[in-house]
Amino acid sequence: MDDRVATLNPNPQPTPIPKSKWSKPMPSVLVIDDDRAILALTEKALSTIADVETAATAKEGLEKLRAGAFDTVLLDIQLPDQNGLAVYCEIREYDRRIPVVFMTVEAASSTAIEAMQLGAFDYIGKPLSVEPLRDLIEKAIEQRQISSVPVAISADDKSPGESGELFIGRSPAMLSVFKAIGKVSKQDVPILIRGESGTGKELVARALYQYSHRSDEIFLAVNCAALPDNLLESELFGHEKGAFTGAESRRIGKFEQCNGGTLFLDEIGDMAPSVQAKVLRVLQEQRFERVGGNKELTTDVRIIAATNRPLEQMVADGDYREDLLYRLNGVTIELPPLRERLSDVPALVQFFMAQAKKEFNKPDLEGLSPEAAELFEGYHWPGNVRQLRAVIRRCVLDTVMPVITPDGLPKEITRIKAVDNAPGGAPASPETLDGAGLPQLVKRLLAEKSTDVYAEATQYMEKYVITEVLKSTGGNQSQAAEILGITRGKLRDRITTFDISLTSNVQIG
Ligand SMILES: Nc1ncnc2c1ncn2[C@@H]1O[C@H](COP(=O)(O)OP(=O)(O)OP(=O)(O)O)[C@@H](O)[C@H]1O
């Protein structure tokens, strides 16, 4: 280890990486309400996540909107000089991609519901509570960033400009991906993006949207794995009042809200059969019903879907509808894992290094030493580009030297040569697979300055839980799936992913 580093930092503690959730330094939010107390409250509540501008009338709000560049508008439903819906229509006219969140007095006023049918982002009831407000506005800002930060496709060194993102790739595999994006973005057909986690599927979705004929229309994203099945159905298709316990008013779903626009369905492999059937119908006929409703609604939405799941295998296991796979699979863009295109690593390193140097204000940092660069190009990157980006950010933040040497790299990268260089193979974990190993694992990962603590700890827990349940069923996978509350296909998927051996881990046979 380098002496100077040791002297400067004898007991290295991982330094928290500042959140750089947004591509711009600080997003901006416009709040329009005639109640001064609400303006003061929202300004204070949102000041940690955004620059907040306020306006007390519709006129003032619309003037400010046109003069500034806002990422979200928080709008009172009833203003002294104009009705909220009319104001919404003017905002929409100006830029229909700015998310608008309504503040309502009744739980769900008919105006708010009408506005959502026209594409408003959401509504929130008064009196406002700080946490839910902040969460909702964060979601709205994220939506705005996803749809409006330009994704520049680059096979060379061109800069993305001040606020854009660069989609890097020079390998033949990535050049084919770029070609495919160019070819299909203007065709109004559903597209399925496939690839492991962290390979850039969301970037492809955003590029497809931005180069499409619908680029001035709304773009909404739904992560199908993030919601339980019944909530996902209601999120996508909406529900009627009284459709289920807790459905106190009508709710507009994403398919209705996104009419005319593009809907990005992330993790489309993680949908219950009932939701799969409804999505298939929208794909075939552009028709659906709200949950608990019998009125047939039509929508004109372009679907871009993404998954990292083995859909063909899931069809074979009876966990996924073949007709839905067939519909989705018409146009597919396949993103190869980073280990299969290691020639992209130098350009990615250069790009993320430049970003991190700027962000952490380290203009004198020269880059990676040749030995460190070689390790980067020899590593198998199980977390793909997301992991590479996180490692670079961590290294840039932590280094006190002008050049990053192997000593400054996380152990999983330097260890790899000695431990396991097999493509896709995860480095061996010294912790035993009993629940007690978790604190030990987290401690080790922190000491190693890992940039993948969440994924590694979650995998450890998942592997532990699945192994224990399999033990309890004597290796019977159907029973185990039932007890775990997951499908057999998902269980099989996990057994393969975590390399759970029924003989050595579960001790069957
Ligand atoms: N080729 C690339 N060039 C530049 N940045 C990239 C590239 N690929 C991925 N990234 C960056 O890596 C991170 C992960 O990408 P993204 O979210 O698109 O992956 P994903 O495949 O959608 O992952 P998941 O399946 O986990 O949602 C993002 O910060 C993205 O900007």
CA distance 424 to 340: 10
Residue with tokens 């006219």: 93
**Residue found under tokens 């929409």:** 92
Tell me the best of 385, 387, 389, 458 to mutate to test the pocket of ligand 1, counting ligand atoms within 8 Å of each CB and taking the most. 385
Q: How far is CA 498 from the centre of its chain?
A: 23
Q: Is there a single domain that holds both residue 200 and residue 308?
A: yes
CATH number at residue 359: 1.10.8.60
* Atom 10 of ligand 1, residue of closest alpha carbon: 200
Name the amino acid, one letter, at 415. R
226 shares its domain with 328: yes
159, 386, 392, 458, best to mutate for ligand 1 pocket (most atoms within 8 Å of CB): 386
With 60 as the cut, is the pLDDT of residue 18 above it? no
**Token pair 């902040």 in the structure block, residue:** 134
Mean pLDDT of the chain: 85
- Determine, yes or no, domain membership for 34: yes
Residue nearest to atom 9 of ligand 1 (CA): 200
Probe residue for ligand 1, chosen from 157, 167, 194, 202 as the CB with the greatest number of ligand atoms within 8 Å:
202
Q: Which pTM was predicted?
A: 0.80
Per-residue pLDDT at 164: 65
Q: How many domains does the chain have?
A: 4
Q: List alpha helices for 33-118, DSSP H.
A: 36-46, 58-67, 84-94, 110-117
Residue 1 confidence (pLDDT): 33
- Do 409 and 438 share a domain, yes or no? no
Check if the beta carbon of residue 85 is closer than 8 Å to that of residue 115. Answer: yes
Ramachandran angles phi, psi of 351, nearest 5°:
-65, -50
For ligand 1, mutation pick of 154, 170, 171, 199 (most atoms within 8 Å of CB): 199
How far apart are the CA of 332 and the centre of ligand 1, in A? 17
CATH number of domain containing 218: 3.40.50.300
Q: 286 CA to middle of ligand 1, Å? A: 30
User: Residue 85 falls within a domain, yes or no?
Assistant: yes
Confidence of residue 508 (pLDDT cuts 50, 70, 90): low
Q: What is the pLDDT of residue 457?
A: 84
pLDDT tens for residues 35-65? 999 999 999 999 999 999 999 999 999 999 9
Instruction: Note whether 304 and 213 are same-domain residues.
Output: yes
Does ligand 1 have an atom closer than 6 angstroms to the CB of 389? yes
Q: What is the pLDDT of residue 319?
A: 87
Let me know whether 277 and 300 are in one domain.
Answer: yes
Specify whether 410 is located in the same domain as 441: no
Q: Say if ligand 1 is within 6 A of residue 199 CB.
A: yes
DSSP bridge pairs for 76: 103
Q: pLDDT at position 43, please?
A: 95
For 68-158, where are the alpha helices, taking DSSP H only?
Answer: 84-94, 110-117, 130-148
The helix (run of H) or strand (run of E) holding residue 52 is strand 51-55
Residue 202 Cα to ligand 1 middle (Å)? 6
Backbone angles phi, psi at 88, to 5 degrees: -60, -45
Both 325 and 309 in one domain: the answer is yes
pLDDT at 9 over 80: no
Quick check: is 158 in a domain?
no
Tens digit of each residue's pLDDT (9 = 90 or more) over 235-258 = 999 999 888 888 888 889 999 999
Q: 305 Cβ partners below 8 Å, 6+ apart?
A: 190, 191, 192, 193, 264, 265, 266, 268, 328
Mean pLDDT of 433-451: 76
Please give the residue range of the domain that contains residue 203.
172-335
Q: How many angstroms separate the CA atoms of 90 and 238, rounded?
A: 25
Angle CA(322)–CA(287)–CA(96) in degrees, nearest 5?
110
Q: Is the pLDDT of residue 123 over 60?
A: yes
Do 204 and 256 fall within a single domain?
yes
Last residue of a domain, one of 418, 448, 464: 418
Whether the bond between 402 and the residue before it is cis, its omega within 30 degrees of 0, is no
15 DSSP assignment: P
Q: Is the dihedral of CA 395, 396, 401, 405 positive or negative?
A: positive
Tokens of 182: 């160019």
Query: Residue 262, class by beta-carbon neighbours within 10 Å (0-12 exposed, 13-18 middle, 19+ buried)?
Result: buried
Residue 159 lies in a domain: no
Residue 145 Cβ < 6 Å to ligand 1: no
Span from the CA of 76 to the centroid of ligand 1 (angstroms): 36
Are 313 and 366 in a shared domain? no
Query: In angstroms, rounded to a whole number, what is the distance separating the alpha carbons of residues 190 and 307?
Result: 14
H/E stretch holding 248 reads: none
- Both 44 and 78 in a single domain? yes
Residues 116 and 129 in one domain: yes
151 C-alpha vs ligand 1 centroid, how far in Å?
12
Percent with pLDDT over 90 in the chain: 54
At CA 2, angle to CA 355 and CA 16, rounded to 5? Answer: 40
The pLDDT of residue 450 is above 80? no
Is residue 156 a part of any domain in this protein? no
pLDDT at 504: 61
Average pLDDT over residues 467-473: 90
Q: Compute the distance from residue 384 Cα to the ligand 1 centre, in Å.
A: 8
pLDDT of residue 14: 43
| Ligand 1 contact, 202 CB (< 6 A) | yes
Q: Are 154 and 167 in contact (CB under 8 A)?
A: yes
Mean pLDDT calculated for residue range 376-402: 91
pLDDT of residue 207: 93
